[in-house]
Structures are given as structure tokens and as C-alpha cells.
């Protein structure tokens, strides 16, 4: 049980930190989306959150995750959100630990070090459950190569159910199709498993994964939905951008994933007769290559490769020679330092459990000061939190994180409006937008003040201005 305990404990600490660090606006609109799905009993929605695309048909690409998030919030508010986040991230640790144990890994210092590039990707978003399910799907697909008869049928049934669950939690389940296919091809062509039985099992495995990906309310439209989200996000969101123009965090994660994939390949080469290691190495390598074009695949590559990297560490005799002993000592010390740091951060963030990061969002008093029914021009990242707190009384945002709903062109247009392009106030008047909730450093804020807009509330991050028309009303 030690591998499970170490893996679960390490990721639980990360979950404890992230439960008090909500910096992604998607989490908050997803709560409200889950509530709408529960009330309307359908995943096919029309937009009621914004004034800019009001009435547009859309569906969430993580509907089941949104429902679970809504249930957690409805049941216990911020505490429920914090516990839900903790549970999701702990599941990632359990998945990595189970996979590592199945591969025969005993050393977990490597896993502790490799979790660092993954830290900022683990949060209350559906991607976190993707990181939990992807290693398990890869593990089961690799295990099927050695199964026959009823055990193979049971494994295929379990794989189908797992992928079906995953695709309804998050459409990123589609990434399993090329990743597992790459792993199976590597296993078949490098382990002398070109027999008809092995090829048939691999084909059945891929058929089951594809069938699972199609087992959602969206059916054959899952690929179109995923591509629409990608197309609307590539120019706007760092995690969708290619490696050469993404954020430093994504580059750091890709570098960590490259190390993990390299170690996974080294572990496979040391144990050339284990097809499961080949599947893991092939799947993680393909995801790493995909991460060059879209940074969001890098953490997937990392989490798949982590258990195999632990296998590599297990196979090394760290007591052989002063160099290896020194590396082992430094690695253990770094791991202990990481645990201490996570404990300290957990204590520091405790007052913020389940609440948005105060350095990133407007204060609740500022959001609450928006008049009911007002059309609001807001910062992109604030939309989700405003939706959660104020959509019930008719406040409508300009934009939020649902890029597939708005489309890239509309988001770009709204961002230019926030920047205060010439004629912005006149445009807002034509759209009956009477409230601004913006960073006080925006030029549009000063222009609005000169035009008679009144400050209704302010905090260190945002200022709320009301138009002269709204004041006269």
C-alpha cells in the first residue's frame, strides 16, 4: 500500500493548496452551467449569461463535471467547492500511484519531483479529471494485450465504461484515441506481437475507446465541439497556443513532460518485454509532440509518463557510486522541501478555501454593487464569477471563458472594446451597456469618468462605473 499512500498523500497536499487558490474564471460559470442543466434537464442550452451572444444555442463540453461542481456548491458553498477540488486532485494522485504500482515501480521521489511542473494545471476544472482518467485508460489498454477470453471481454467492457464516463466529464477524452493508438502500435511492432490475436485485441481496444467517446448526448458531434473550442481559443488562451508563444508555465510543463517521457522511454528500453511500458511510452511521446502545437497536451504527457519515470528510478541502483548517492540525497531533500512548502502554503491559503483569489478578482462588495438587470462590460476573467453571483438577478456579462459560445472574433472584438478603442462609449450606449467593471488602469475608465460615469464601488483590482443614463433611471 505504500505506493498508493505516497501518491495519494502528495497530490492531496497539492489539492489542499489549490483548494484555496481559485484563479480560473471557468470554475464559476461551470457551477452555474451545472445548475442550469439540473433545472432544465438538458445539456442543450441557450445563452442566458451574457448580453453579447444572448439566446445563442450552445452546450458545455464538460456537462457532467459541471453538474458535480454545481452539486458540491449547492450542498456546501465554498467549502463544498474546496472539498470537490481536493477530491479531484487526489484522484490524480491515486491514478498515478495505481499505474506506477501496476508497472512495478517502488521509488516515488521521481514522482514527487515531476509533480512540480503539473502544479498550476491542477484545479477545479474538468482537465483535472482528464489527468486522473488518462493514465488509467492507458494502463487498461496496455493490460488488454496480455488478456484472453473472458478476462479480455471484461477488460474491454471496463474500458468502455471508463471512457464513457470520461467523455461526459470532459471532451478531452478524445485525446485518448491517438495517444492509445500510438502506444499500441509501438507495443505491437517492438515486442514481436504481430500475431493475429494481438492485432485483433489492439483493434478491439481502439474500437471500444472510439465507441466510448461517442457515448455522450452529443454523439458524433463530439469532435466538432472539441474543434470549435480549439479554434475559438488558440489565439486567446495560452494553454491552447503553440509552445513558441504560450506562457512560461506551459513551457516549463512541456520541459518537465519531456524529461518524464525520456525517462519513460528509458524504462521501456530496460524492460523491452513489457508491452505496457511500450504503450505508456508511446502514448506519452505522442502527447508530448502534440504539446508543441497546443500547450494543454503537455500536462497530459507528463501525467501519463510519471509512473513509467518512477519505473526508471526503481531500476536504478542509487547506492552505486558517490555520484548516484549524491543525486539521490538531493532528490530526497528536494522532495521533503516540496512537502514542507505545500504544507506551509496550505496553512497560508486556508482563509481563502473555496473562494476566488483576492489578487485576481473584484471584491464581493464590488460585484454586489452592480445594479440588478444591468448589462456589464467586464474583464474576460471576471465573467465567470459575475455569472455565479449575479446572473439570477439579471446582470449580464460581456464575456466569460466559454470561447466556443462567443467565437474568437467576438471575444477579440470585446477585448478591443475593453481596451477603449475610439467610439467605445458610443458603442456601449447603442448596446444599452450601463455598467463598467474594469481594471482601473484601463484608458476606457478615465474616458468614462470624463463623460460623466459615476463610480459606484471600487477595490484594489476593479472599479465599477455607472453611466449617466443609469443614474437618471
Task: Report the 3 state secondary structure along 22-45.
Answer: ECCCHHHHHHHHHHHHHHHCCCCE
Phi/psi of residue 174, each to 5°? -60, -25
- If asked whether residues 371 and 345 sit together in one domain, one would say no
- Cα separation, 219 vs 303, whole angstroms: 28
Question: CA gyration radius for the chain?
Answer: 24
Query: Does residue 266 share a domain with residue 129?
Result: yes
Helix (H) or strand (E) holding 376: strand 376-378
Cell reading at 382: 471576471
Contact 116, 256 (CB under 8 A): yes
Length of the chain: 473
Residues 397, 343 share a domain = no
Same-domain status, 408 and 338? no
Do 457 and 311 share a structural domain?
no
**Nearest CA to 234 among 383, 63, 61, 411?**
411
Beta pairing, strands 45-46 & 57-58 = antiparallel
On whether both 110 and 245 belong to a single domain, the answer is yes
Measured CA angle at 70 (ends 67, 138), to 5 deg: 45
**How many alpha carbons lie under 13 Å from residue 158 in its C-beta half-sphere?**
15
**Pairwise CA distance, residues 150 & 152, whole Å:** 5
Q: Is the dihedral of CA 401, 219, 139, 278 positive or negative?
A: negative
| Alpha-carbon span 64 to 52, nearest angstrom | 26
Q: Are residues 320 and 374 in the same domain?
A: no
**Residues 331, 451: one domain?**
no
- 463 beta partners: 438, 458
315, 349, 383 - which closes a domain: 349
Residue 195 to residue 348: CA distance in whole angstroms: 57
In a domain, 357, yes or no: no
Provide CB contacts within 8 A for 108, sequence distance 6+: 3, 6, 7, 10, 100, 310
Cell numbers standing for residue 412: 477579440
Same domain, 106 and 71: yes
What φ, ψ does residue 51 adopt, rounded to 5°?
-95, -20
Query: Among the three residues 292, 319, 349, which one is the final residue of a domain in this structure?
Result: 349
Map residue 69 onto helix, strand or coil. Answer: helix
The rounded distance, in Å, linking the Cα atoms of 90 and 124 is: 12
Instruction: Give yes or no: residues 338 and 387 share one domain.
Output: no
Q: Cα(46)–Cα(53) distance, rounded to whole angstroms?
A: 9
Pair 103, 185 in one domain: yes
Give the residues of the chain that fall short of pLDDT 50: 472
pLDDT reported for residue 108: 65
Say what the pLDDT of residue 195 is: 66
Give yes or no: residues 379 and 293 share one domain. Answer: no
The answer to the question of residue 218 being in a domain is yes
Q: How many domains does the chain have?
A: 2
91 touches 129 (CB < 8 A) = yes
Which of 285, 319, 349 terminates a domain? The answer is 349
pLDDT at 6: 72
pLDDT in tens, 243-298: 988 888 899 999 999 999 999 999 999 888 888 999 999 999 999 999 999 999 99
Task: Give a yes or no: residue 177 inside a domain.
Answer: yes
Q: Is residue 359 part of a domain?
A: no
- Domain range for residue 468? 364-472
Amino acid at each position: 500500500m505504500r505506493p498508493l499512500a505516497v501518491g495519494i498523500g502528495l497530490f492531496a497536499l497539492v489539492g489542499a493548496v489549490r483548494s484555496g487558490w481559485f484563479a480560473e474564471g471557468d470554475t464559476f460559470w461551470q457551477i452555474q452551467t451545472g445548475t442550469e442543466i439540473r433545472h432544465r434537464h438538458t445539456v442543450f442550452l441557450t445563452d442566458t449569461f451574457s448580453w453579447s451572444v444572448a439566446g445563442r444555442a450552445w452546450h458545455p463540453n464538460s456537462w457532467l463535471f459541471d453538474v458535480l461542481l454545481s452539486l458540491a456548491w449547492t450542498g456546501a458553498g465554498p467549502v463544498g467547492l474546496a472539498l470537490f477540488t481536493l477530491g479531484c486532485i487526489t484522484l490524480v494522485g491515486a491514478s498515478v500511484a495505481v499505474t506506477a504500482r501496476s508497472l512495478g515501480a517502488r521509488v516515488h521521489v521521481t514522482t514527487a519531483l515531476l509533480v512540480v511542473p503539473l502544479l498550476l494545471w491542477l484545479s477545479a476544472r474538468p482537465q483535472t479529471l482528464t489527468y486522473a482518467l488518462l493514465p488509467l485508460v492507458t494502463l487498461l489498454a496496455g493490460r488488454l494485450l496480455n488478456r484472453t477470453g473472458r478476462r479480455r471481454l471484461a477488460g474491454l467492457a471496463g474500458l468502455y465504461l471508463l471512457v464513457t464516463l470520461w467523455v461526459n466529464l470532459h471532451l478531452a477524452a478524445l485525446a485518448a484515441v491517438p495517444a492509445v493508438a500510438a502506444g499500441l502500435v509501438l507495443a505491437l511492432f517492438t515486442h514481436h506481437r504481430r500475431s493475429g490475436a494481438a492485432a485483433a485485441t489492439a483493434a478491439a481496444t481502439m474500437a471500444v475507446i472510439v465507441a466510448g467517446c461517442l457515448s455522450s448526448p452529443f454523439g458524433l458531434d463530439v469532435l466538432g465541439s472539441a474543434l470549435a473550442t480549439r479554434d475559438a481559443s488558440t489565439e486567446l488562451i495560452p494553454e491552447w497556443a503553440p509552445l513558441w508563444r504560450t506562457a512560461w508555465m506551459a513551457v516549463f510543463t512541456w520541459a518537465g513532460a519531456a524529461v518524464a517521457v525520456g525517462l519513460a522511454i528509458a524504462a521501456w528500453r530496460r524492460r523491452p518485454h513489457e508491452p505496457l511500458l511500450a504503450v505508456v511510452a508511446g502514448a506519452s511521446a505522442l502527447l508530448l509532440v502534440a504539446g508543441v502545437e497546443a500547450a494543454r497536451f503537455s500536462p497530459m504527457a507528463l501525467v501519463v509518463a510519471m509512473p513509467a519515470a518512477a519505473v526508471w528510478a526503481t531500476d536504478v541502483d542509487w547506492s552505486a557510486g558517490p555520484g548516484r548517492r549524491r543525486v539521490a540525497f538531493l532528490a530526497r531533500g528536494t522532495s521533503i522541501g516540496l512537502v514542507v512548502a505545500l504544507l506551509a502554503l496550505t496553512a497560508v491559503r486556508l482563509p481563502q478555501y473555496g473562494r476566488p483569489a483576492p489578487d485576481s478578482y473584484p471584491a464581493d462588495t464590488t460585484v454586489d454593487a452592480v445594479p440588478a438587470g444591468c448589462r456589464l462590460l467586464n474583464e474576460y476573467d471576471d465573467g465567470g464569477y459575475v455569472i455565479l453571483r449575479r446572473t439570477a438577478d439579471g446582470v449580464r456579462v460581456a464575456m466569460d471563458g466559454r470561447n466556443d459560445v462567443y467565437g474568437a472574433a467576438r471575444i477579440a472584438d470585446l477585448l478591443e472594446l475593453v481596451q477603449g478603442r475610439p467610439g467605445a462609449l458610443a458603442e456601449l450606449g447603442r448596446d444599452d451597456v450601463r455598467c463598467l467593471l474594469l481594471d482601473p488602469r484601463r484608458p476606457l475608465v478615465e474616458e468614462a469618468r470624463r463623460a460623466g460615469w459615476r463610480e459606484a464601488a471600487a477595490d484594489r483590482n476593479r472599479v465599477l462605473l455607472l453611466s449617466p443614463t443609469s443614474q437618471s433611471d
